[in-house]
Structure 1
Amino acid sequence: MKVAILLNSSMANPSLSAIISKHELVGIGVGKTGGENVGLLADSIDAAGAPIYTFERSSHETEMSDWLRDSHAEVVLVYTFNFKIAQSCLAIPKYGFYNFHPGALPEERGSPLFWAIRNRQRSFALTIHKMTEHLDCGPIYEREHCRLDDSTTFGEALEHLGTISRKFTIRLLYELEKRKGHLRLSDQNAAMARFYRNPKRADIVVDWRRQTAEQVQALTNACNPFCEGAIAIIDGRETRILEASPIMLEQSIQGKASGVPLPQVEGDLCIVCLDNTVLRIDVLCDSGGYYSGRKWLSHRYRRE
């Protein structure tokens, strides 16, 4: 079967080898603003030997239509993509487009993964559905849940969803070919639908006085590496926190100001948060580079 894929993340990586082992990969498409993510798949793409196409959002309908007709793709598999695909394009492949959506449909349409981690959900899902002109609304082929814990980052969750995607990629292509596209699909219940928007800058900023250490850790995980870290002001400097852990201290922290490094905590960079909870910052960056919390703290005193 002639297969084309659209991608905007490394989630497609595990499925590439499965596709090229049994089928003909006729092309890989990326949106122009997502092209930098192709670098994460460089070795796999080189092994596949498939041409890469970059689409402009404003002109993608014409460009993608030409691409699909020239490549004779029979099905297009989508592993996250950064803009809505025109209906005229969806109608071209013999078996249509199938989207590997990071979220449980119909309850988690849009961009729910960031919010699931930020809000400390205990589970998440991958949903495979046939695409229609309405975003994330097409009939469902398969859905599988996986666990999230307090240490799961956005990148780790996406990698795990990529691993799950591989087995469904193999099964989907096999069944499409065997059944000539006549799959058993389930319509979504629109009454259960909820849409999650992409986070804005205000959504990724730490508020030391209104967030507990556990909440800041969850925000940090949701932003790693998706937003290049959670934005936090520490001693008047803007930083990006990439890894942090709540800790318990024996010493009293009553009266300590939120957002200010605690002195004499065995050299660690520790910050008081809401309800006198304490966060140890393990990895962060600022305009000077990337640091461990300890190294950043020592550099802070040198700057002063």
Structure 2
Amino acid sequence: MTRVLILADGAVGAECTDWLIAHHRADIGLIVTTGENTISAAARAANLPSVPFEGSAQLAALVEQRGLSFDLGLLLWWPHIIKAPLIALPRLGFVNTHPSLLPHNRGKHYNFWAIVEQAPFGVTLHKVEEGVDAGPVIAQSELAYDWEDTGETLYLRAGVAMSRLVKDTYPRLRAGQITPVPQDLTKGSFHRASELDPASWIALDTPTTPRDLLNRLRARTFPGKPGCRFADGGRTYEIMVSIKEVR
């Protein structure tokens, strides 16, 4: 039997954890959450141990204090970078959910950069190593997109696809039927969170192409979040777009 350590957050993490509880409850050794939420409530309802995350060192120490051991770790839509000694704690390491088609768009804001760079898009399960999103690929699912897509639609579609990929892959993963494939990190791209706002600034007098401008605008179109911005006459404006195919 595989003993699994789960670190989960968000709607995707909740859906995947619920599925694992329903179909592979005996595998679950510990569920870690970002705090009191629907995932910790689901753990209690299933009579499974759950703890809040306070850092990699804290969690590793807690596992040692309780005398726990794990075969596999799962990062299900987990928002924090985990560090040693936690990374090496499960015997087979950790598998992370990353919403891009690695090695494309490693790091932050995958939905924005996929459109801006016109890169292949999708979702990936990969082994966790010290480098960010750099570990060998376990499984991938590519998602086509077109002019009607925005940063919001890619985000939402990635969530649905990721939940599906976890459910499709986990039975083979726990059975040891998957051989990870190393990434070619000379391809693709990597972006930090600090790059988003500068890349979203539209300089009115800087030459560009209509294609690149429209891609940048729709990549930052996500209602409830900031759009692209530009300044003119001492005032700053924000812009989002809606593109629909004419049939």
Q: TM-score range by the shorter chain?
A: 0.7 to 0.9
For residues 157 and 7 of structure 1, do their structure 2 counterparts lie closer, same or farther at Cα, with a shift above 3 Å needed?
Answer: farther
Matched, 1:160 2:157: yes
Structure 2 residue matching 1:238: 3-state secondary structure:
strand
1:27 aligns with one of 20, 31, 35: 31
Cα distance, 1:148 vs structure 2:
1.9
> Which one is further off, 138-147 or 104-113?
104-113
Distance 1:61 1:190 in 2: 26
* Alpha-carbon shift at residue 236 of structure 1 (Å): 4.4
Equivalence map 1:6-85=2 (5 Å): 6-7=7-8, 9-24=10-25, 26-30=30-34, 42-43=37-38, 46-49=41-44, 51=50, 53-55=52-54, 60-69=55-64, 70=66, 72-85=69-82
Is 2:33–2:51's contact at 8 Å kept on the other side of the alignment? yes
Counterpart-to-counterpart distance in 2, 1:46 and 1:80: 17
Runs of 4+ in structure 1 deviating by more than 6 angstroms, as ranges, are none
1:89-136 superposed Cα distances (whole Å, 9 cap, x missing partner): 1111133210112222234432343211233x2740212111122322
Q: Establish whether residue 105 from structure 1 lines up as the match of residue 102 from structure 2.
A: yes
**Structure 2 counterpart of 1:186:** 181
> In structure 2, do the counterparts of structure 1 residues 87 and 239 end up closer, same or farther at CA, with 3 Å as the change threshold?
same
Q: 2:9, 2:215 → 1: CA distance?
A: 24
The residue aligned with 1:196 is: 191
Distance 2:139 2:43 in 1: 26
Secondary structure, counterpart of 2:129 in structure 1: coil
TM-score after normalising by structure 2: 0.73
Counterpart residue type for residue 207 of structure 1? A
Where relative contact order (Cα < 8 A, 6+ residues apart) is larger, the structure is: 2
Which structure 1 segments of 5+ residues have no match? 248-304
Q: Does 1:137 align with 2:138?
A: no
Structure 1 position 227, deviation (Å)? 5.2
Long gaps (5+) in structure 2: none
Name the Cα RMSD after superposition: 3.4
Q: Residues of 1 paired with 2:199 and 2:224: CA distance?
A: 13
Equivalent residue, structure 2, for 1:286? none
Question: Normalized against structure 1, the TM-score is what?
Answer: 0.61
How many residue pairs get matched? Answer: 230
Letter in 1 for 2:72: V
Higher strand residue share: 1
* 2:167 counterpart (167, 170, 174): 170
1-side partners of 2:187 and 2:214: how far apart? 30
Taking the aligned partners of 2:152 and 2:107, their CA distance within structure 1 comes to: 18
